[in-house]
Amino acid sequence: MPSWPVLISQAFNGLALGTLLALVSSGLTIILGTLGVLNFAHGALFAVGAYAAFVLLQYTSSFVLAIVVGCGFMLALGFLLERIIIRYFYDRPHEDQILVTYGVGIVLVECVRAAFGGNAQRVPVPSWGQGATQMGFLIYPTYRLQLIAIIAGLLLSLYLVLYRTSMGLVVRAGIENPGMVGILGINVRRAFLLVFAIGVVAVGLAGMLYAPVVAVTPDMGANFMAQSFVVIVLGGLGSFPGAVIGGLIAGEIISLTSAFNSSYSEVMLYALMAVLLIMRPQGLFGSEGRA
C-alpha cells in the first residue's frame, strides 16, 4: 500500500492529466458529434501544438505570447484542413473518413519528424511556473498546479461558448440533428468549418500547455489519442460534459493505479470502459441519438 502523500500526489497528477484529457477529448467529441467525423489526426494535432510552442518559444520569451500565436496557427491549420480535405468526406462512409484523417495524422507527424528529427525536444517551463509549491505536507511542481487551473479556465470558456452563445446553440443542435439545423435556415457546413477549427485549437492548445512537462516527440500524441477515444466512449459520444467528466475519471484512474502498479494503469482504464459499456452502452452523458 503506497503512503498517503504518494496517493495524494498521484491524485493531483490525475487531476492534471484528467483536465488535459478533458480538453483533448472535448475537441474530439464536438467534431465527432457535429460533423460525424471521428478525427484520427487528433493525436498528431496534439504533437503539432507542442512543436508550435517549441518553435515559438525560440522567438519570444513570453509563454503567453507563444500560446496566443500558436492558437492562431492551429486555427489556420484547422480551417485549411477542413476546407481542402475534411469537407469532401462528410457525405462519404465512416471508413473513408477514418482513413483520410488517419492519413492526415501520418503526414503531420512525418512533417514534424522531417523538420525537427525524432529526438525529444525540451520546452522550458514558463518563468512564472518555475519551482515547486508547498501545500501542507505535499510539495508539488508549480506549473502543474497552474496547468490544472489554466485548463479548467479553458474548459469553462468552452462551456460558455457552447451554452451561452448563438454559435454554441447551433453546435449543440447540430450534434443532435444537423439536418434539422439546415431546415431552420442555418448553413450547417459553415458551422462545421468553425467546429472543426475549434476542435483543432482545443487539442493544439492542450499540446502547447503540456509541452513543458513532457518530452516533445513527433509521436507524443498517439497515446493521448487512444486515451481520449476511451474518454469520449466513457462520457458519451458527442457530449461535452461527458468529455470533461470522462477525462477527469480517466486521469484519476490512470494516475491512482500507477501509485500501486504502473503497468496496470492502462489496463484499468480499458477495464472500466468495458464495464461501463456493458452497463450503459451510450456512455455517462450520451443519448441514443445519432448513429
Question: How far apart are the two ends of the chain, measured CA to CA in Å?
Answer: 44
Cα distances (angstroms) measured from residue 93 to each of 28, 34, 37, 97, 290: 18, 16, 10, 7, 15
The contact mask relative to another protein for 250-289 (x = CB under 8 A, - = no) is -------------------------------------x-x
With binding defined as CB under 8 A, does residue 290 bind another protein?
no
With binding defined as CB under 8 A, does residue 170 bind another protein?
yes
Cell of 65: 505570447
Q: Which of 216, 128, 151, 163 is nearest to 30 (CA)?
A: 163
For another protein, give the closer residue by CB, 169 or 222: 169
Stretch of 3-11, 94-102, 164-172, 255-263 lying at the interface with another protein (CB under 8 A): 164-172
For another protein, give the closer residue by CB, 138 or 186: 186
Q: Which H or E element spans position 116?
A: helix 94-116
Residue selected from 60, 61, 187, 223 as contacting another protein according to rule CB under 8 A: 187
For another protein, give the closer residue by CB, 122 or 164: 164
The contact mask relative to another protein for 114-153 (x = CB under 8 A, - = no) is ----------------------------------------
179: alpha, beta or left? (left if phi > 0; alpha if psi -120 to 50): alpha
Phi, psi values for residue 117, rounded to 5°: 80, 170
Q: Which of 18, 48, 25, 39 is nearest to 217 (CA)?
A: 48
For another protein, give the closer residue by CB, 129 or 174: 174
Size of the site for another protein (CB under 8 A): 20
Q: Where are the alpha helices (DSSP H) in 117-165?
A: 142-164
**Closest separation in Å from C-beta 224 to another protein:** 28
With binding defined as CB under 8 A, does residue 185 bind another protein?
yes
Residues making contact with another protein (CB under 8 A): 166, 169-170, 172-173, 175-177, 179-188, 287, 289
